[in-house]
Amino acid sequence: MKHGCGPFFFGGTQMATYDWFFNALGLRDWCDAGTSEAPMSMADLLAETGNAVEEPFYAIPFPSLDALNEACGQITQTRDVVKGLEEGFLAIRPALRAILDPITQPLSWMLDGTLYLFTQAPWFLIMAMLLLVTWYATRSVSVMLFNAFCLSFFAFVDHFEPAMETLAVILVCTVISAIFGIPIGIAMSKSNRLQRMVIPVLDLLQTLPTFVYLIPLIFLFPIGESRLYGIAITLYAIVPIIRLTDLGIRLVDQDVIEAGNAFGMNARQKLSKVELPLALPNIMAGLNQTIMMSLAMVVIASMVTAPGLGVLVLRGIRNLELGVGLMAGICIVLLAVMLDRTSKAALSRIDRAKSKTS
C-alpha cells in the first residue's frame, strides 16, 4: 500500500496516520481496492531500507485530501482536484469564447483606436489637447502648469510615447468602468435585494489578487489582443465607482426627495435632477479611485503585453536594468500624481459649484 509523509512505525511496519480511522469504520477492503500503483515516496523507500526516521507522536498532519489518501486510496488527492478544476475550465472555454468574443470586441477596437491616436498624433497636439481638457475640467492654473511640467518631463527623458500609451489604456478602461459602473450603482441604490446580491461580487473583485485576474483571461484570449488586458483592468477598477455611486445616492437627504415628490416629479426626474446632482461628489470620488486602480493594474498587465510604462518596469526587473526601471517608476509616479490632482481639482470645482447653487 502506498504511503506518504507523516507515517507511524509499529513493529517495523509502516502505517499511514489515518489508517485507524478507516479501519474503525470497516472500510479497509474498500480503501485497499483503490490503492494507487504509483512509485513509492521517499518515506516508503527509507522504510524499506530501515533508515526511516520515526516521526514524533505530536507531528500529526491535518486530515487533508493527501493525508487521507495515504491511508485510503479511494480518497482523491489534491492534485486530482486541481486537475479537475483545470479540465472543467478548459471544457467550458469554447462556450465562454463564443459568448465573450462578440461582447468584448468593441473594447479591443476602442483600445487599439485610442492607442493609435495617442501614439501617432504629433506630440504638441497631444500636449495641447490634454492641457485644454485639464483646464476645462479644473479651471486651475496650478494644476494645468503641473500637468504641463509632467508632460514635458516625459518628452525630455524620451518616455512620452510609453506614458501616452499608459494614459490611453487608463482613459479607455476608466470610461468603460464609468459606463457600466454608474448604472449598476444606481440600480443597487434602488434595490436592497440587488445590493445584497452584488456586494459579494464586488468584495470578490476587490480582494482577488491582481495576478489572478490574468490567469483565466490568458486561456480565453490570445496573447497580444488588447481586450486581454482591457478586461482585467476594467474588472479590477470598476469596483470603487459602483460602490460610491450606490453610497452617494443612498446618502441623499430624504427631505430633498420628499420635496421632489411634492413637486410631482416622477422617478426619472428625481434621479436626473435631484439624486445624481447631489451624489455627484461621491461619484467623482469613485471615478478618482477607478483611475488610480486602473493605473496600478496597467503596470501589472504589462506581463500580458499591455503597452506603456509597465513594459519598461518589467524590462528593468527581467534584465536587472536599474536605471530603466527607476526612470519608468518616476514617470508612473508623475502620471499618477497628474491624474490624481486633475480629478481632485475637478471634484473641488463641482463642490464649489454645488455650494454656490445651494
Using CB atoms within 10 A of its CB, is residue 114 exposed (0-12), middle (13-18) or buried (19+)? buried
For the whole model, what pTM was predicted? 0.81
Closest alpha carbon to 216 in 44, 128, 55, 93: 93
Length of the chain (residues): 358
Closest alpha carbon to 294 in 251, 235, 225: 235
| Whole-angstrom distance, CA of residue 215 vs CA of residue 195 | 28
Confidence of residue 262 (pLDDT cuts 50, 70, 90): confident
**Where, residue-wise, is CATH 1.10.3720.10 in the chain?**
96-357
| Whole-angstrom distance, CA of residue 123 vs CA of residue 118 | 9
Q: At what angle do helices 276-300 and 322-357 cross, to 10 degrees?
A: 180
Across 28-44, average pLDDT? 63
HSE, side-chain direction, 13 A CA sphere, residue 193:
0
Whether the Cβ atoms of residue 17 and residue 69 lie closer than 8 Å to each other: no
Across 133-156, average pLDDT? 93
What is the helix (H) or strand (E) element at residue 13, kind and residue range? strand 13-15
Give the highest mean pLDDT range of 26-30, 60-64, 184-188, 294-298. Answer: 184-188
Across 207-232, average pLDDT? 85
The pLDDT of residue 189: 92
Across 28-54, average pLDDT? 60
Across 76-101, average pLDDT? 88
The pLDDT of residue 14: 47
Weakest-pLDDT range from 42-46, 96-100, 119-123: 42-46
Yes or no: domain 96-357 corresponds to CATH 3.20.20.70: no
